[in-house]
Amino acid sequence: MGVRLAEFTAKFKEAFFEDLTTLRLRKAQHYPAATEPRYINRMIEMIRSLEASDIAYKAEDGSVYFRISRFPDYGKLAHLNLEELRPSGRINNDEYEKEAVGDFALWKAWTEEDGDVYWDSPWGRGRPGWHIECSAMATALLGPQLDIHCGGVDNMFPHHEAEIAQSECVTGKQFVRHWLHCAHLMVDGQKMSKSLGNFYTLRDLLARGYSGREIRFSLITVHYRLPLNFTLSGLDSARAALMRIDAWVSRLRSLSGGTPHETAIEATTSADRFLSALDEDLNISGAMGHLFDWLRESNRAMDLGTLSPGQATHTLEEFQRINHILAFEEEKIRIPSEVQSLVEERQRARANKNWALSDELRDAIAAKGWLLKDTKLGPELTMAAGR
RNA sequence: GGCGGGGUCGCCAAGUGGUAAGGCCGAGCUCUGCAAAAGCUCUAUCGCGGGUUCGAUUCCCGCCCCCGCCUCCA
């Protein structure tokens, strides 16, 4: 209350962009805001165009609605037959001044509770409807026709239907060539919702000691059209799988050298197999299967000593082709100096074969939340995941 | 009720008309000051009942169960 809209939304935007970085998501070229004047103007323009062709009408409450009877394809995307819709009880007919229940708002007349959030329009003060915002911004930036439009399945109806209706009535062109609808995110077997309180924020998970790439891995493992049940044990298995990839990469690195040389075992080009799996409607699980097959095969070759330095270099280069997509490389973790000095002290104890002190120091390090393991390349630290 | 998406090893998850990828966990072995880690190896007959077929987890029919949407919060 009393907080300006822009001020209120700023912190959420900031958190959103932080999250993108944490999850290693490539940034989009544009992040349009529906409140920008150029888009508000475009929305108004579109609504005027619809009004001119008698598809939009202004109702008594001052709001402008889309007359869905003028767009026969409305409901086609979601396979809904509008005549057979079951009244869900959620609509209170008397509350609206619409001609038909299904008509959706293009422009909403200002009401008391909108406060200072309003724009002037040919229909008076008000604000745009949700659907027109997307049509206006999308067509402004991408033109009248989109190759791919993504969104959650839950938005298929009515939102995507409305977008199609508005856009096509204005531009006269097919709005979207391909729709990619992704399934819901579930948490611990239930739909994630505020009322159930069964949600984790990215910050919660980071605070529990999980890293961005572990969360990324966990989220990536399921096909986009299938619901993903997010669990902490899923994160644990992501962590284990990533450590295995890390170990493989560092093993290849220490072996690599010289001129890249193709290996006999992956003459079938593992990276190609990975990528062509993704070409099949983003079959990430199939692609990951290829990655791990490849990992095992080259590990076996290294065990047998049949992988040459040049082949190791080549394998790393091939891996980069898919890591470009996966972005699974290890992150630099910041080790507190107090922990670091304990590690150094322990190394001295080990050099003196003082195993008792060494073990004691490892416990001390563990008490500070770090897991230490001795590898051929020296001690390695991992942040312990909490519960 | 309508529409859509699912039910595959303890958990996660691919896939195909000819007898089931992969990951995690577990077990065994190797390595190792110990502990780990890491590497290798091993582990399913695909919700239920019919049908089609030489052969079905994969096709058809019926049923059961789970999830989502069914209109103005964006």
User: Are A288 and A257 found together in one domain?
Assistant: yes
Task: Identify whether A1 is part of a domain.
Answer: no
Q: Is-contact A161 A203, C-beta < 8 A?
A: no
- pLDDT at site A199: 78
Nucleic strand B contact set for A 2-21 (CB, < 7 Å): none
Task: Identify whether A9 is part of a domain.
Answer: no
Strand arrangement, sheet containing A64-66: A56-58, A64-66, A104-109, A126-128
Task: Identify whether A346 is part of a domain.
Answer: yes
Mean pLDDT of A26-41: 92
Domain end (from A149, A182, A215): A182
Scan for tokens 């791990």, then name that residue.
Answer: A292
- pLDDT at site A122: 94
Mean pLDDT of A196-225: 87
Domain end (from A304, A326, A348): A326
- pLDDT at site A63: 92
Residue-range definition of the domain harbouring residue A364: 337-383
Task: Identify whether A147 is part of a domain.
Answer: yes
Q: Which nucleotide lies nearest residue A246, CA to C1'?
A: B38
Q: Is-contact A184 A227, C-beta < 8 A?
A: yes
Domain end (from A165, A182, A199): A182
Q: Is the CB of A47 under 7 A from strand B?
A: no
**How many Cβ atoms sit within 10 Å of the Cβ of residue A84?**
6
Highest mean pLDDT among A121-130, A263-272, A307-316, A321-330: A121-130
Task: Identify whether A159 is part of a domain.
Answer: yes
Write the DSSP string, A56-87.
Answer: EEE-TTS-EEE-GGG-TTTTTTTT--GGGPPP
Q: A69: which 2 tokens?
A: 């009877």
Mean pLDDT of A239-246: 91
**CA-CA-CA-CA torsion sign (A150, A156, A158, A161):** positive
User: Are A212 and A313 found together in one domain?
Assistant: yes
Residue A363 pLDDT greater than 60, yes or no: yes
Instruction: Please tell me which residue lies nearest to nucleotide B24, judged from CA to C1'.
Output: A237
Q: Is the CB of A194 under 7 A from strand B?
A: no
The CATH number of the domain holding residue A240 is 1.10.730
Higher pLDDT, A383 or A60: A60
Q: Which nucleotide lies nearest residue A355, CA to C1'?
A: B33
Mind listing the pLDDT tens digit for each residue in A287-299? 999 999 999 988 8
User: Are A175 and A122 found together in one domain?
Assistant: yes
Residue A36 pLDDT greater than 70, yes or no: yes
User: Are A41 and A176 found together in one domain?
Assistant: yes
Nucleic strand B contact set for A 106-125 (CB, < 7 Å): 108
The rounded distance, in Å, linking the Cα atoms of A163 and A71 is 12
User: Are A136 and A194 found together in one domain?
Assistant: no
Q: Which nucleotide lies nearest residue A157, CA to C1'?
A: B69
User: Are A49 and A156 found together in one domain?
Assistant: yes
User: Are A322 and A288 found together in one domain?
Assistant: yes
- pLDDT at site A47: 95
User: Are A282 and A343 found together in one domain?
Assistant: no
Residue A41 pLDDT greater than 70, yes or no: yes
User: Are A234 and A132 found together in one domain?
Assistant: no
User: Are A369 and A269 found together in one domain?
Assistant: no
User: Are A165 and A278 found together in one domain?
Assistant: no
Task: Identify whether A26 is part of a domain.
Answer: no
User: Are A135 and A209 found together in one domain?
Assistant: no
Mind listing the pLDDT tens digit for each residue in A65-119? 999 888 988 888 888 776 655 444 444 444 557 788 888 999 999 988 888 889 9
Q: Is the CB of A178 under 7 A from strand B?
A: no
The rounded distance, in Å, linking the Cα atoms of A24 and A215 is 10
When divided into structural domains, chain A yields a total of 3
N-to-C CA span, chain A: 36
Nucleic strand B contact set for A 311-340 (CB, < 7 Å): none
ipTM: 0.89
The CATH number of the domain holding residue A94 is 3.40.50.620
Covered bases, chain B (protein CB within 7 Å): 1-6, 11-15, 21-25, 33-41, 67-74
Write the DSSP string, A215-280.
Answer: HHHHHHTS-TTS-EEE-HHHHHHHHHHHHHHHHHHHHHHHH--SS----STTTT-HHHHHHHHHHT
Q: Which nucleotide lies nearest residue A133, CA to C1'?
A: B74
- Per-residue pLDDT band for A301 (boundaries 50, 70, 90) equals confident
Q: Which residues in A312-345 are b (16+ Cβ under 10 Å) and which e?
A: bbbbbebbeebbeebebeeeeeeeeeebeebbee
The rounded distance, in Å, linking the Cα atoms of A314 and A272 is 14
Q: Is the CB of A103 under 7 A from strand B?
A: yes
Mean pLDDT of A9-24: 90
**C1' of B15 to CA of A126 (Å):** 53
Phi, then psi, of A98 in degrees rounded to 5: -75, 160
Nucleic strand B contact set for A 347-376 (CB, < 7 Å): 350, 355, 358-359, 362, 371-375
Q: Which of A103, A172, A107, A162 is nearest to A135 (CA)?
A: A162
Mind listing the pLDDT tens digit for each residue in A110-134? 988 888 889 999 999 999 999 999 9
- In angstroms, the Cα distances linking A366 to A50, A206, A232, A258, A311 are 66, 18, 21, 40, 38
